[in-house]
Amino acid sequence: MKQERMSAFVKDGRSMLLAYDQGLEHGPSTDFNDTNIDPSFVMELAVKGRFDGVIFQKGVAERFYTGGVPLIVKVNGKSALVKGDPISRQVCSVEYAVSLGAKGIGYTIYLGSEHEAEMFAEFGLIQEQAHERGLPAIAWVYPRGAAITNDTTKEVVSYAARSALELGADAAKIKYTGDPVSFSWAVKAGAGMKVFMSGGPKAPTDEAFLKQVQGAMDAGATGLAVGRNAWQNADPLQMAAELRKVIHERLKVEKPLSTPGSQTP
């Protein structure tokens, strides 16, 4: 049943998703250049790069989603300009997301934030509304707040995965711990829920990034939700091809690209 809900995004048990909500979450000047500031570029990349899903906020989905790859609408969001423990509230109804063509609903939970309870409650409702329509609810779980000094420890990352499982998420997007052994504990904590490694900021080299992905897959992850490491890359289609090798073709990472990713936003 759960498997079925994620089946739009997961064909061979593995999946690579292209995320593009950074314009809201980080701001256009932080993450974008003249090319990737254009959602059409990313929409095209999602299709040509043969990603298994593309992730947009409602506004971008409404204007730029063209089909050809299944859509996940992130239904909450915040800017990077607010200080203090983060809260991200629902800005798109599940019904509206469905009207835009969404096959999955994304929601960010800042685990450990002093506003955690509000996001738990909101996700609880959204998850049920999504399931009512047969759609998966995918939780971005990012630990934050006074108790979190390092958000990539085994303990913290596995807590993120487990929280998503217990709250009824069909999949979780969590940070990589840095090595497959500790990340496999997070996957185990997910107990069969799909676990996606979060791409995070642009890695120093493509190879470094692909090795992280490899590590996550080795640890049992379902795949990757990648943003900046794809559309900030000097050759995004090539990066997509490399990711497919690691994720779908199950090839080991060597030195995949002649030139390390040098593009800056």
Backbone Cα Rg of the chain: 17
Instruction: Choose the stretch contacting its own copies; rule: CB under 8 A; options: 10-18, 32-40, 47-55, 252-260.
Output: 32-40
Binding mask 167-206 for its own copies (x = CB under 8 A): xxx---------------x--xx-xxx-------------
- The residues in 37-96 that bind its own copies, with binding defined as CB under 8 A, are 37-39, 57-60, 62-64, 77-84, 87-93, 96
- The residues in 218-237 that bind its own copies, with binding defined as CB under 8 A, are none
CA distance 196 to 173: 5
115 vs 248, which CB is nearer to its own copies? 115
Taking a C-beta distance cutoff of 8 angstroms, is the pair 242, 217 a contact? no
173 is catalytic: yes
- The residues in 88-127 that bind its own copies, with binding defined as CB under 8 A, are 88-93, 96, 111-114, 116-118, 120-121, 123-125, 127
124 vs 134, which CB is nearer to its own copies? 124
Pseudo-torsion of CA 156, 122, 228, 224, nearest 10°?
60
Closest approach, Cβ 227 to its own copies, in A, equals 14
159 is catalytic: no
94 vs 213, which CB is nearer to its own copies? 94
Interaction between residue 155 and its own copies (CB under 8 A): yes
29 vs 259, which CB is nearer to its own copies? 29
Q: Please give the positions annotated as active site.
A: 142, 173
